[in-house]
Homo-oligomer: A and B are copies of this chain.
Amino acid sequence: MATLKDVAAECGLAVSTVSRILNNRGYISDEARQKVNDAMRRLNYYPNELARSLHRNNSGMIGLIVPHIMHPFFSKLISCIEESCCRRGYRLLLFNTQSVEDKEAEFMQICSRNRAAGIIMCTGGLSVKQFKDFGIPVITIERSIEYGTASVECDNETGGHLAGELLWKKGCRKVLHFGSIDSYRMPADQRYLGFAEVCAARGMECIRIPSNAEAFQKMEYREEIESALLRYPDADGIFANSDVIGAQILQVCRKLEISVPDRMKVISFDDTLPAINTTPRLTTVTQPISEMAELAVRLLEDVTQGRIVPVKNVLPVSLTEREST
């Protein structure tokens, strides 16, 4: 592949001149510019980004670390982040921890060694205490802040409120909550807290059915749903922490011949693909995923440029009513 040196030789100028033309800085005569552009075209020259990155000590890549790729919430988040990166001229480096905590630090290392412009962490583990050590800004999404540069999350608590109020309004008196994971502490825990608050205020009986991390990783909640539904046959409403869980609740209800929404109201969280490809379609708390993604990337850009950014960023949620309530 042609290098700057080749181009310089081809048109009888110095490498530095060619570089200057490439980057449009300093004084350049039209004649030189023309000659260089011609030569570049002729030699099919494209700059080596590795060399550039090395020089500026920044690869212009953003490392995205998620615990899951196939999960609809994360696949949507990844998609949105890719889009924001692309629009702002960053490249996306994707890592999946599969909830294995050790990988978290390992991937951050890789990003650091490759001089990533920033890291977006969506991982729930608590393992990495030394964010700052990597010398790279770290934005967390839906993860407790701790030592990151800034965090982005949705208003989980209000999401819980909205769900609780809707179930109450629809006449529920005994409700179940699915999908909190006890082994991690994360912003999503607030969903249950907000929900439970409303239940307490309204006098609605509320039962929390926690999931384990394995269920999340396998996206397989049916057994726990079924046993809960059998244990609480008089429950008349459910709030689930994700659409995946919501969809599986619908399946179990069909199986147990519990009609939704007549005998059981279901609200899920996220508003991703599964929420609209089921029958009935799921009422859900909509996370502004696209905005969260855009904000995360923008924060990274702002931090890089030395601007001061809010350390905690909470975006509003909304209720999207469909047919399951």
Are A254 and B277 touching (Cβ within 8 A)?
no
Question: At the interface, yes or no: A232 with Cβ under 8 Å from chain B?
Answer: no
Are A46 and B94 touching (Cβ within 8 A)?
no
A75 is contacted by which of B53, B70, B278 (Cβ under 8 Å)?
A: B70
Are B114 and A95 touching (Cβ within 8 A)?
no
Question: At the interface, yes or no: A99 with Cβ under 8 Å from chain B?
Answer: no
> Which residues from 108 to 167 on chain A have a C-beta closer than 8 Å to any C-beta of chain B?
109-110, 112-115, 133, 135
**A255: B residues at CB distance < 8 A:** 279
> Which residues from 154 to 210 on chain A have a C-beta closer than 8 Å to any C-beta of chain B?
none
Contact segment of A22-30, A245-253, A309-317:
A245-253
**For residue A277, which residue of chain B has the nearest CB?**
B247
Q: Given A251-B277, A273-B70, are A96 and B79 neighbors across the interface (CB < 8 Å)?
A: yes
Question: At the interface, yes or no: A12 with Cβ under 8 Å from chain B?
Answer: no
10 shortest interchain CB distances as A-B pairs: A69-B79, A75-B75, A247-B277, A49-B113, A50-B54, A254-B279, A49-B114, A94-B94, A70-B79, A70-B75
Interchain CA distance A46-B59 in the complex, whole Å: 16
**Interface residues of A, Cβ cutoff 8 Å to B:** 1, 44, 46-51, 53-54, 57, 59, 61, 68-70, 72, 75-76, 78-79, 82-83, 86, 91-96, 109-110, 112-115, 133, 135, 219, 244, 247-248, 250-251, 254-255, 272-274, 277-279, 281
**A72: B residues at CB distance < 8 A:** 70, 72, 75, 273
Are A94 and B92 touching (Cβ within 8 A)?
yes
Interchain CA distance A235-B184 in the complex, whole Å: 50
Most buried by B among A78, A91, A114, A277: A277
**A279: B residues at CB distance < 8 A:** 250-251, 254-255, 279
Looking at the assembled complex, report how far the CB atom of A95 sits from the nearest CB atom of chain B, in whole angstroms: 7
**A254: B residues at CB distance < 8 A:** 279
Are B96 and A82 touching (Cβ within 8 A)?
yes
What are 8 A-to-B residue pairs whose CB atoms are below 8 Å? Answer: A1-B135, A44-B133, A50-B54, A69-B75, A70-B79, A72-B273, A91-B114, A248-B277
Interchain CA distance A15-B115 in the complex, whole Å: 21
A76 is contacted by which of B70, B76, B110, B112 (Cβ under 8 Å)?
A: B70
